[in-house]
Amino acid sequence: MDFKKYTFKNLPKGPSKIVNLAIIGDVAEFLERSKRPVILVDTTGALDNQEPGAENELVLAQSYPLLADQGISIVSANKTPFALESGLWNSIFRRPTRGTAKRGLVQFSATVGSGLPATGILQDMMQTGDTVRSIQGVLTSPLSYIFNQYSQPGFASGDGSVKNETPRPTFSQVVREAVATGYVPNDPRLILSGLQAAQQFTILTRTVGLKVENSHSFAVRNLTPKPLREAETVADLLEKLPKYDSVLEKLRTKAEKENKVIRYVGTAKLGVDNSSLEVGIESFDVNHPFARLKNDEICLSVTSDRYTEPIVIKGPGSNPEASASRILSDIFKLSQKL
């Protein structure tokens, strides 16, 4: 094969043509020739197979075991490889058999929480003999922004009435504004589907040992009404979305009368005999950390045998510097082991 086409100077940049496993195999063979340990950094990450570039992402995701088998270590910010079928997860992290070459190592802390040390905290707890009992979080920053604008503590009363009579935006108005200001992608269905939240909770629960088949194997509330999921254009979607505002309005009003707000969260309960995992809308007291989030802040809450009171961490959702620091942290960790 011609290795000259794979150099640091001529590697393709920007949107690329569809790749295949054969090409990745060639690249893996090239990297394997390095006299020093190699770390491949994957910062791709389309939300689903309807987004441009998703074909490349799926091929790359399926190539992780191949790369690791070639002794190539991976630092990834790409959720997809870790949220697909459990067989791929097992292949990525399988131990080398006796007599075989050393496999590459894999770090993935940047896949969850926009820079929050979410997976790292869970891994540290598990490695020191603790048992995680619950994981709950608002981890998708666009949905955090939408619900922080839509359901606010200042309107809750707790006495069966609504304390603040100021007109509030409808759900469709908040979504439209979030798209216009860039908090949500141009096609909000990519976020409203809940897929991003489902992927993150698949990764978190697998990290603590829960067997999850994939990010579609548990209940996930899709916020796009069924009749609009196949809308031909985003304009058509946004035009018709107000017809369905009453669904969430009922939830918001009920929560306010109980001195609560509603949030879009993932919840995992990890029991000795049974466990559960779901992603959807829940109500929280106005003093709960999730209720006090601002703008697109994200938040994670964890309990365990050792920490019966929740460990709570939060931070800004749109935080490229923090996300980059997680990638660098993973690179440093691997460099110390290789």
- Give pLDDT tens digits for 202-224: 999 999 999 999 999 999 999 99
pLDDT one-digit tens code per residue, 55-86: 556 778 888 998 998 899 999 999 999 999 99
> What is the share, in percent, of the chain residues with pLDDT greater than 70?
85
Tell whether 59 and 155 lie within a shared domain.
no
Q: With bands split at pLDDT 50, 70 and 90, how would you rate the model's confidence at 319? A: confident
Q: What is the average pLDDT value for the chain, to the nearest integer? A: 87
Residue 235 has pLDDT above 50, yes or no: yes
Q: Which of 313, 328, 321 is nearest to 135 (CA)?
A: 313
Tell whether 86 and 234 lie within a shared domain.
no
Q: Tell me which of 184 and 266 has the higher pLDDT.
A: 266
User: Average pLDDT in the 137-151 region?
Assistant: 97
Which residue shows structure tokens 């897929």? 195
Tell whether 179 and 314 lie within a shared domain.
yes
- β-pairing verdict for 39-42 and 73-76: parallel
Q: With bands split at pLDDT 50, 70 and 90, how would you rate the model's confidence at 157? A: low
Tell whether 192 and 220 lie within a shared domain.
yes
Range of the domain at 249: 118-318
Domain count, the chain: 2
Tell whether 35 and 70 lie within a shared domain.
yes
Tell whether 185 and 250 lie within a shared domain.
yes
Which residue shows structure tokens 């997976």? 119
- Which segments of 151-244 does DSSP mark as H helices, in order? 171-181, 189-192, 195-207, 234-240
- Which segments of the chain does DSSP mark as H helices, in order? 21-32, 54-62, 64-69, 80-83, 86-93, 118-127, 141-150, 171-181, 189-192, 195-207, 234-240, 245-257, 320-337
Tell whether 124 and 99 lie within a shared domain.
no
Tell whether 97 and 163 lie within a shared domain.
no
**What is residue 209's predicted lDDT score, i.e. its pLDDT?**
94
pLDDT one-digit tens code per residue, 236-261: 999 999 999 999 999 999 999 999 99
Give the whole-angstrom CA distance, residue 32 versus residue 43.
Answer: 21
